[in-house]
Structure formats: C-alpha cells, structure tokens
Amino acid sequence: MAAENAAGHGGQTAGEYIVHHLTHWRNKELVGPFDLTVVNLDSAFFSILLGIVGCFFLWKAARKATSGVPGRFQAAVELLVEMVDSQARGIVHNAESRKLVAPLALTVFVWIFLLNAMDLLPVDLIPVLWAWGYGAAGLDSHHAYMRSVPTADLSVTMGLSLGVL
C-alpha cells in the first residue's frame, strides 16, 4: 500500500507529499520558529504579480469608463466601487478622510480577492510546472518548493494588515 502511495506522488510518501506542499520557496532556511531575515519568495512573487494584475484591471476599467450605458465589466467595477464606498461611508464619517480610505479599501479588497482566487487553481498545477522548470534548469526538482496561495503565508497577512494601519 505504501508503495502504491509513493508511486502516485512521484516516489513520495503521503507525508512527504504534504510536507513538500506546505514548504515555501525561501531565500534561506528558518533559524528557530521566528526569523525576520527569511523571505518567502513565492509569496512575494505572487503578491506582486497579482497586485500588478489587479491594478491593470482597475486601470482598464477607469480608462474605458463611459457616462452612458456601461458595459458588463464597467458595471461590475461600478458595483464594487459603490460597495466599498458605502462601507467606507459607514465606518469613516469624515468626508476628507474617506478620500484616502475608500481607494485604499478598494485596492486592498481587489488584491486580497485575487490572492485568494489563486486557491481556485488545482493545488498541483503551479508546483508541478515549477518543479519541471527547476529540473530543466539542471537543479534538483525534489527541492523545488512553490506555494501559489500567498494568503496562506502569515507574513503576507501580517504585511497587508500593517500596510493598512
């Protein structure tokens, strides 16, 4: 039975498969349970990439906005902006402060939505592609760690919350 499990996951046992998928691509190994010098490169890469994608889509919606009858994409963005604006109006009563809070809330909402949407991809898709590319570069593909959901990393969650403060 263990041999069948190992054959199904590229020669790994079920425990090794799980540990491999829970390990980040890091600049160096952790020294103790809390090490501020370690950067999870996969989380940083996907966070920056999805931030650029989110900004691109919001820019595209703003550029193609019309005052007449909106298209589907513009209508969806307008619904999103109105939802965030009503939330900001309910929390921040000063109109001058809302000029900063509402766009920040919209940006953070879209960014977190995209970060969590990475979980809709099959769990093995990006790590398998990464291991294939890692092996093609002549490196050991068994040590090609890649987690594609940045919000599963506590560093990203803490960074987002500190950025909002």
Backbone angles phi, psi at 40, to 5 degrees: -80, 100
What's the pLDDT tens digit per position in 77-114?
A: 889 989 998 988 898 888 888 888 888 888 888 898 99
What is the predicted pLDDT for the residue at 58?
85
What is the predicted pLDDT for the residue at 49?
92
Which pLDDT band holds residue 6 (cuts at 50, 70, 90)?
very low
Kindly report the average pLDDT of the chain as a whole number.
81
Looking at residues 144-149, what average pLDDT do you find?
Answer: 76
What's the pLDDT tens digit per position in 128-139?
A: 787 787 777 777
CA-CA distance, 150 to 148, in Å (whole number)? 6
Give start and end residues of each alpha helix (H) in 2-71: 2-8, 14-21, 41-63
Residue 61: other Cβ atoms inside 10 A: 19
34-to-31, 39, 82, 101 alpha-carbon distances in Å: 7, 12, 40, 32
What's the pLDDT tens digit per position in 32-53?
A: 777 778 888 888 888 999 999 9
Is pLDDT larger for residue 65 or for residue 19?
Answer: 65
Burial call 97-134: b when 16+ CB within 10 Å, e when fewer: ebeebbeebbebebbbebbeebeeeeeeebbeebbeeb
Which pLDDT band holds residue 61 (cuts at 50, 70, 90)?
confident
Q: What is the token pair recorded at 11? A: 């020669």
Tell me if the pTM is above 0.85: no
CA angle 160, 163, 165 (to 5 degrees): 115
